[in-house]
Chains A and B, each alone.
Chain A
Amino acid sequence: MKSIDIVITGLGGQGVLSAGKVIGEVALMAGYDVKITAIRGMAQRGEGVLSQIRIGKKIFSPLISEGKGDILLGFELLEVANNEHLIKKEGLLIFFDRLTPFKKTTDLSLKIAHKNKLEFSYKKTLERLPNEKNINLFMLGVVSKYLTFKKELWIESIKINFSGKKLQDNLFTFEYGYT
């Protein structure tokens, strides 16, 4: 793998930042240079959060160039629509069909332009998970199959980033996304 640019997008509280951190640690353990950037401002109020992860031999800018990103992971539809311009034409979008109720008040017809996409039902996925807070780990399980890192590194990274009951739930959820 030469280099890979990943966008993670969702709302505050959905685990966008920690998902980015897990991927970053995996890449670091695999011997790559990594930069992760996310402006943290009003995220705790449920605003949109955008995390950009750049992995390669040597990374300078932490920002992904317009239309050069490889993969987008989306936790909320509007945020996916807002940020898909970062991803290249043939790039992959993995996202949930969830649209926050508040957004329904705005008149907006959502069109995801990318052809290469993997859409999951938020509701159905949630039924199989121990906790809504783990939803980000499901996403990581899914995307791990599209990246070349060894599974052990993912497990190791999750162990670094979480502990206790949360760790157990997260490992379970990752496994579910992986299979």
Chain B
Amino acid sequence: MKKLITGNEAVARGAYESGVTFASGYPGTPSTEILEEIAKYKGVQAEWSANEKVALDKIIGVSLSGRRSMAVMKHVGVNVASDTLMTLSYTGVNAGLVLVVVDDPGMYSSQNEQDSRIYAKFAKIPLLEPSDSQEAKDFVLLAFKISERYDTPVMIRLTARIAHTESVVEIKDNVNRRSYYKKFKHDPCKYVMVPANARKRRIFVEERLTKLEEFSRHILYNRIEWGSSNIAFVASGIVYQYAKEAFPEASFLKLGMTFPIPVSLVKSFTKKFKVFYIAEELDPFLEEQIKSAQITHGIGKKLFPYTGELNQDYISRALKRQVKKNSVKKYTKIDNSRSLLCCGCPYLGVFYLLKKMKIIAIGDIGCYALNVFSSYNSLATCISMGSSLGIASGLGRFAQKGLKRKVVSVIGDSTFFHSGLSALADIVYNKGAQKILILDNKAAAMTGGQGHPGTGQRLKGEKGRKIEFEPLIKAMGINRVFTVNSYNLKAIKEVLGREIVNEGISVVIIDSPCLLVSKARVVTKYRVLSNFCRNCKECLKLGCSALLIDNDQRVTIDNNACTGCSFCYQICPAKAIRPI
């Protein structure tokens, strides 16, 4: 039966049909739905891990136990898991093991635009790139075969456009889930990577790569489509679709497996043409492989940009030489005026206070990074998961001398368990004097409210164990740990004012659930009494989008949007904001 499903749903379906018994990952747009969809299938265990490295480690264990397993993450997640990945390449697998990565060309919801395909080359493991949902499903089945046949982890790389595009997939109602089981074998030469063993496996990795190149020549997913014009493309993934749309008459070498590339196939295809085009988004991944095989008449990054997402219009203009010879493509302007924290978000108040108190906030990855779009922004940095503690540790120790301003780390609850914990241990060990705010909104809110160790909510709905922040942090030797309600500005101000001048480490937990997750009912809404309002616009500094300016340049409250958080009521100097 034909179904219209996204690339993410298709990967999940592929995992189910392949007989995957366990899958894990860490939420991150645009990859989040894959694991959520896998979790809906009966007979598959699926759970969020504390971070991507833990997820990959767990699936290695499952593979050793003889069962097929999958890890799912966004591109930046692979950076976290890469330590494991680089050596996993040496050990290989027992039962099939597949890593699914979703890149974000155009940076619709990410902090960078890295081309994760390079990890496949770096780790010397095979790479598959589907170009629609049907291939996304089929490639998962293929990936497990390759994994088991060649004793290797296999990487499948999607882009956001593939992940979030629905296209037609043939799905059988009654599918025989392939069952695969290979007994656990104690084999230290293969799995204990001390130098003596690693040297042997290092040679195996190179031999495996030669065999994989041979294999990539013969798979159907690396295919030539002869066209009637003299234009020729080598392309993979979504860019194949764009190029095909722009030049349906052209000839194509469509690559499904993009590392290692089938060199002899590329040679026999491209020698028919005087020039050919290597169309790809982000880095010249195919181009470098093709050029290093001494095939030099291909045009790639000379025409196509390193930056952003491609489309058929751009490819068409590029071939007609209507684009500037420039490797940088400008991004479509995204209107950020709506990229604010939600109305009544529990974080609005604490950011307002930080700015008011002239404190430098070293931020982290999560919703709270949206504070940067507020006109009253207090965030100074946002770099990677868990970075806020280390960065503030570096900045804070010299802040008194040069900056004359206090520094705090601001980290979310899920991010804290992802990679803040080890940074906190470092600060205790090195006798730091850091001030850390944990914004605990009881969810990985930015990605849709997933659970984590601090909530005890597990992916399939079952209860896990919840780790409480206060006893955890106290057990690390930090005595000054305080929990305050996110909506009590007076209490937050008092604690911040007191702790910021304290000599040692202080941790303040700003505590209240995300409104999108808790779906709390509004009890009291607020309005502005115009005869009291002095029009000082102090309330607008909160960055709450329920506060509007009317045609007379006066503040009003959008009754539909107001969540009754009371922040504006608490800060109004004229007491002009009152409950309705």
A residues in contact (CB < 8 Å) with B: 21, 24-25, 28, 33-42, 44-48, 59-63, 65-66, 82, 101-106
Contact = CB atoms under 8 A, between A and B. Distances in A.
A33 B166 CA distance: 11
Nearest to B244: A60
22 contacts: A21-B166, A28-B4, A34-B4, A37-B164, A37-B165, A37-B166, A39-B109, A39-B161, A39-B164, A40-B29, A40-B30, A59-B167, A61-B246, A62-B238, A63-B161, A63-B242, A101-B561, A102-B561, A104-B548, A104-B549, A104-B550, A105-B549
B241 A61 contact: yes
Main secondary structure of the interface of A (DSSP, over half): mixed
Contacts of B531: none
Contact of B313 (A33, A60, A65): A65
B2 interface: yes
A35 B167 contact: yes
Contacts of A63: 161, 242, 311-312
B103 to A, nearest CB: 13
Interface in B310-330: 311-313
B339 A45 contact: yes
B335 interface: yes
A38 B548 contact: no
Contact of B164 (A34, A38, A65): A38
A125 B106 CA distance: 37
A28 B548 contact: no
Contacts of B335: 48, 82
Contacts of B342: 45-46
A25 B30 contact: no
Q: Which of A36, A48, A60 has the most chain B CB atoms inside 10 A of its CB?
A: A60
B437 interface: no
Contacts of A25: 4
Interface string B159-182: 011001111100000000000000
Contact of A62 (B241, B313, B516, B558): B241
B338 A46 contact: yes
B545 interface: yes
B505 to A, nearest CB: 33
Nearest to B340: A45
Nearest to B333: A82
A-B residue pairs, 10 tightest by C-beta: A61-B245, A41-B109, A37-B165, A60-B245, A36-B166, A60-B244, A62-B165, A60-B241, A47-B338, A39-B108
Contacts of B337: 102-103, 106
Given A45-B342, A59-B167, A60-B312, 20 more contacts: A24-B166, A25-B4, A28-B4, A33-B168, A35-B132, A36-B167, A41-B108, A42-B339, A44-B516, A46-B545, A47-B338, A60-B241, A61-B242, A62-B161, A101-B548, A102-B337, A102-B338, A102-B545, A102-B548, A105-B548
B448 interface: yes
Interface string B132-147: 1000000000000000
A126 to B, nearest CB: 12
A34 B132 CA distance: 11
A4 to B, nearest CB: 15
Interface of B: 2, 4, 29-30, 106, 108-109, 132, 160-161, 164-168, 238, 241-242, 244-246, 248, 311-313, 335, 337-340, 342, 448, 516, 545, 548-551, 558, 560-561
Contacts of A44: 448, 516
A66 to B, nearest CB: 5
Nearest to A52: B165
A102 B109 contact: no
B4 A62 contact: no
Given A60-B241, A63-B242, A42 B109 contact: yes
Contacts of A48: 335, 338
A37 B161 contact: yes
Nearest to A47: B338
B554 to A, nearest CB: 12
Nearest to A38: B164
A46 B30 CA distance: 18
A28 B335 CA distance: 33
Contacts of B561: 101-102
Contacts of B313: 65-66
Nearest to B248: A60
Q: Which of A21, A61, A62 has the most chain B CB atoms inside 10 A of its CB?
A: A61
Contacts of A28: 2, 4, 168
Q: Which of A25, A36, A63 has the most chain B CB atoms inside 10 A of its CB?
A: A63
Contacts of B545: 46, 102
A101 B558 contact: yes
Contacts of A101: 548, 558, 560-561
Contacts of A24: 4, 166
A34 B2 CA distance: 11
Contacts of B238: 62
B248 to A, nearest CB: 8
B276 to A, nearest CB: 19
